Chains A and B, each alone.
Chain A
Amino acid sequence: MSNEDLPNDFDIIILGTGLTTTISAAAFSRIGLKVLHLDRNDYYGGLFANFNLDAIEAWKQKNIDLSKVDSESHAVGKDKDLCSDGVTCVNLPQETAQAFNLSSSFHVRERTAEEEEAAKKLQTPFKPFFSLPKPSDSDSASKEISEEKEAFQGSDTENDLTPNQPHLQNKSQEDSSQDPTSPEDQGNSRTQVVQKEKSIAEPVKDESEGKESEQPAEEASALVREGDKASNDRDMNHFSSEPKSKNDEEFGEKLSEEKKESSVLEDNIQGSVQEKKKEWTAGDIKDEWRKFCLDLSPRVLFCCGDIIELLIRSDVARYCEFRTVSRVLTLLKNKLEPVPCSRADVFGSKIVSLIEKRLMMKFLQFAADFENHPEEYEGHQNSTFLDFLKFKKLTPNLQHFVQHAIAMVDYSSGTEHGLQRTKKFLQSLGRYGNTAFLFPLYGTGELSQAFARMSAVFGGVYCLMETATHLLADADNKCCGIITSKGQRINCKYLVAESSYLPDTYTKRLSSGKVSRGIYITDSSISRSSDEDLTLLNFICEEDSSRSVTVLEMPPSACVCPRNLFVVYFTRVSNSDDPERDLQEVRERLFASPDGASSAEESRPNILWSMHFTLNDWSMVELTDQAVENVLVLSEGGDAEIDLDKCVPEAKRLFHQVCPDEEFLPTPPNPEDIIHVDDTESPVATGSNSEFESGQENSEEKKGGEIISSEATDQEKNREENQDMQETEGTSAEVMCDAEKPEEGEEKAVKMSKTLGQENES
């Protein structure tokens, strides 16, 4: 078991399980190299880890403790030792703190003694089949909310211009299993929905978890859950048995609905009806600790970004589910407004005038294809993006939208940079959902675990809470192995490590700066709408507009928190050691003040729990010439980027450094096509039993199951399809094609996923 020794020989040893490292681990394992992957922590992900509430508090404490140790004494012992057999032994650094200036606290009262009693009675932790652990008060409260919500929704939909919106909205809110073809009576459907809320007193996570079950066999496109999919799928019976094709249909249906929604959004915001909020106590939140998935590095994924392409191509996507970031907001004239980013949005938007609409459309069309129209921005290469927008005669409104919400660049950004960012955003539009981004259900931390599984499936050996204390270099100054923290010597040809696992003298940090991050648990959305929106907001601070704050708000349907709560992340490039202060302005602007709300603030969410910390930006590192050969370094993140697209090229580059002629994470064979050969015809003699037992331990023997590519044609097709798609992406990224190109890529994606679906069906 866990006391067992690791095998002694590997091709590659990898230290640290951050996203970039696990991607490369998967790539190495995939082509048959023997990979040992260690992490000093007892969790996956490094700086990309995600935690439940208890675990993140433990992580905080550990980092506080580590930072104290840091300052006291660091240098212990010699740097190098000579081993008996002529091998040099290099000391590797001890664990140091990952984050600094950590603080966390509850902003709500503890339970009273009576409440504690009541909660205890109702709680039956970990008893299967009888899981209704919600305290009665929260139950009734949620009922109340749901009823009010319904009422709110009803009044809202009456104002709506689109005729079939009400029915669709109700459906998506509560139960997509309602027959969408039967136009149902409003009142009736409302009561049904409330009933449902009552009977499903189950934790959201459980419900949505089950939903994943259908995913692996599903088409790649279907693993992208449209906006409120998770909340739709509350019924276990529904999601598990729902035929896939119907699902797709619904998927499309709801997406188009989502499009309309953006125009409705404004009404919602303006007419924001006061909901009665449940009063949460610290105990209520603590009881739900398991249901939080809090990311150290929350990121969104550009729908056409490298990471999405990689997830699809490598089939790692089957281990995750996604939902769309359903709205992008911006703060305009002191109000949170939805950003019109697509053509439909621009046309439907009420906050831009008719003339502005034309200007905006024209500009976006140009930006989507700007490289082919150099004459349009000639002479502006050296001016700022904002000046260029002014030159293009965009109104202040539009300048704001394009600069802050679409390109998300600061005032000092140059024209070309701004245009590139705008283009990237535009390219990712319309692929999944109505914004350009996806978010992995259960948090960004799932991605590194998914790649780790892919590596393990192809033979990678994983060991957490174990690291290398020493690196071994042979006479040619080449890395030839490590000594583990348990004292075992393991040989390898290459050592790949995150920078914090290597001696300071080996690595040079190219990125600089720090990032302030805030994580908040709140009781409502920063901008209420009828749906559970996953929101992205680029917030410009008045106090220092050069450093904007990325705000990500997660609803329960993102599977990161229990029902009726929200998780909000703030990320800002930092210039101080006080993350709490750094994020103060945006916190005060978006949330209710802790000391009793004034009337204007009442509709704002209350912070129930918060955590602040500072990360050092280790997103760009390189090796110094002091490093032993065959040691490679990967960055561990910690930067303020909103997406993950830096990770893929880095992992790919590293992979090709070691294996220049191999394919990077090609599509694996379908598990259903791997045919096991029965050995009953050639029975092994009496020793078979012991062999059977020890056999599993022995990673040398990999012959039992043969991969027979009987369905090679299918897979070939699949692969071609993938390549096709890559090419499409490639060209559209580099050469820049006509405006229709993303659509073509889109159809490819659908086609490809269909192929996948067929394979799974057969």
Chain B
Amino acid sequence: MAKTYDYLFKLLLIGDSAVGKTCILFRFSEDAFNSTFISTIGIDFKIRTIELDEKKIKLQIWDTAGQERFRTITTAYYRGAMGIMLVYDITNEKSFDNIRTWIRNIEEHASKDVEKMMLGNKCDLQDRRQVSKDRGEQLAIEHGIKFMETSAKASINVEEAFFTLARDIKAKMDRKIDSTGPSKSAGYQLSGKDGSSSKKSFWKSCTLL
């Protein structure tokens, strides 16, 4: 079967409960929004394939499965993540304060070179704003990460945010390829060969008794 993408990135959404992580996920993956409650039941992750520099990039975005609620995210959740969206709610001071805690968490459990980005969600609710855009920007600069204000409901910046994160991950990867000398793997990445035949024969030959 032919490959439908060139890259696959695993992204995580992290942040306090009710900051709109799942809404952002649905806005991005299905361009939908549910103002009541989008159930995360039964949903591990969502997938959307985007195109950057003529490369198809499959984004696999994992939700917390509600385990952030009592701070019980498993360490296993962070394994293999290449990008993390840190989300807070601009109408909720506490969720902004907790970003630091989440960053500490990431530093302890995620890969060291994971690409991070911070989102202040619900920016459509200007009249209830508790966290100014400036403060968001300040915190982002402090941690050397990018920042955007988003609204999953009004569909503001959600696309842009994921594209930015994906672009940064891709750039980092490309840099790595450069720094590790001429990449022999570059040719390999794109070919979508069907491995089933060799696999089959392998199983046969490998089954021994």
Interface residues of A (CB under 8 A from B): 1-2, 4, 6, 44, 126-129, 131, 175, 177-179, 192, 195-196, 199-200, 202-203, 205-206, 209-217, 235-238, 240-253, 255-256, 259, 290, 318-321, 342-344, 364-365, 368, 426, 429-431, 434, 442, 446, 449-450, 452-453, 456-459, 461-464, 466, 668-669, 671-672, 674-680, 683-684, 688-689, 691-699, 701-705, 707, 739, 742-743, 746-747, 750, 754, 757-758, 761
What's the Cα separation between A698 and B91 when bound, in Å? Answer: 19
Partner-A contacts on B (CB < 8 A) = 1, 3-4, 6-10, 16-18, 20, 22-23, 26, 30-47, 58, 60, 65-67, 69-72, 74-77, 79-82, 89, 91, 94, 98, 107-108, 110-116, 125, 128, 144-145, 153, 172-174, 176-177, 179-181, 183-196, 198-209
Which of A210, A449, A674, A750 is within 8 Å of B200, CB to CB? A750
Contact indicator B8/A705 (Cβ below 8 Å): no
Give the CA-CA distance A761 to B193 in the complex, in Å. 14
Task: Report A355 CB to chain B, min CB distance, Å.
Answer: 19
Verify B203–A199 contact, CB threshold 8 A. no
Contacts of A247 in B (CB 8 A): 195
Set B34, B42, B181: member contacting A678, Cβ < 8 A: B34
What is the minimal beta-carbon distance from B187 to any residue of chain A, in angstroms?
A: 7
**Residue from the list B36, B39, B112 in contact with A684, Cβ < 8 A:** B36
Residues of A within 8 A of B36 (CB): 679, 684, 688, 691-692, 695, 701, 703-704
Partner of B30, one of A244, A676, A701: A676
Selected A-B contacts with CB under 8 Å, 29 pairs: A44-B74, A129-B172, A179-B184, A213-B9, A213-B60, A217-B8, A237-B176, A240-B173, A243-B190, A245-B195, A249-B193, A256-B205, A256-B206, A259-B206, A342-B208, A429-B207, A430-B207, A449-B74, A452-B74, A456-B66, A457-B42, A461-B66, A671-B45, A679-B33, A691-B36, A705-B41, A705-B42, A739-B209, A746-B203
Contact B181 A195 (CB under 8 A): yes
With A131-B113, A684-B36, A688-B36 already in contact, 4 other A-B pairs whose C-beta atoms are closer than 8 Å: A241-B173, A249-B198, A256-B206, A319-B76
With beta carbons under 8 angstroms apart, the residue of B47, B75, B192, B205 that contacts A449 is B75
> Could you tell me the distance in whole angstroms from the C-beta of A176 to the nearest C-beta in chain B?
8
Cα distance, A399 to B151, chains bound together (Å): 70
CB neighbours of A195 from chain B (8 A): 181
Known: A177-B185, A246-B191, A255-B206. A209 touches B74 (CB 8 A): no
Is there an interface contact between A245 and B1, defined as CB atoms closer than 8 Å?
A: yes
Minimum-distance CB pairs A-B, first 9 = A212-B80, A177-B185, A695-B37, A249-B195, A252-B202, A213-B10, A678-B32, A248-B195, A449-B74
Assess the B26–A676 pair: CB atoms within 8 A: yes
Q: How far is the CA of A757 from the CA of B192 in the complex (A)?
A: 14
A754 to B187, CA, bound (A): 25
- Residue picked from B47, B112, B193, most chain A C-beta under 10 Å: B112
CA of A252 to CA of B196, assembled, Å: 10
Docked-complex contact B8 and A240, CB < 8 angstroms: yes
A746 engages B69 (CB within 8 Å): no
The reply to whether B4 and A216 form a contact with Cβ atoms under 8 Å apart is: no
**Which of B65, B173, B194 has the most chain A CB within a 10 Å cutoff?**
B65
A344 CA / B183 CA spacing, docked (Å): 36
B41 to A458, Cβ gap below 8 A?
yes
Min Cβ gap B79→A in Å is: 5
* Contacting residues, chain B, for A701 (C-beta < 8 A): 36-37, 39
- Report chain A residues within 8 Å CB of B98: 1
Report the separation of the CA atoms of residues A446 and B180 in the bound assembly, to the nearest whole angstrom. Answer: 31
Residue among A128, A131, A246, A259 making CB contact with B145, cutoff 8 Å: A128
B3 contacts across to A, CB distance below 8 A = 243-245
Cα A464 to Cα B189 in complex, Å, equals: 42
Residue of A nearest to B202 (CB): A252
- Least distance between B53 CB and chain A CB atoms (Å): 13
C-alpha gap A699/B67 in the complex (Å): 13
Identify which of B4, B6, B45, B113 contacts A761 (C-beta below 8 A).
B4
Contact status A177-B184, CB under 8 Å: yes
Cα(A453)–Cα(B30), bound, Å:
23
Question: In the complex, are the beta carbons of A237 and B173 less than 8 A apart?
Answer: yes
Q: Is B65 within 8 A of A457, CB to CB?
A: yes
Is A213 in contact with B198, judged by CB distance below 8 angstroms?
Answer: no
Residues of A within 8 A of B114 (CB): 128
Pick the contact of B196: A6, A245, A320, A677 (CB < 8 A).
A245
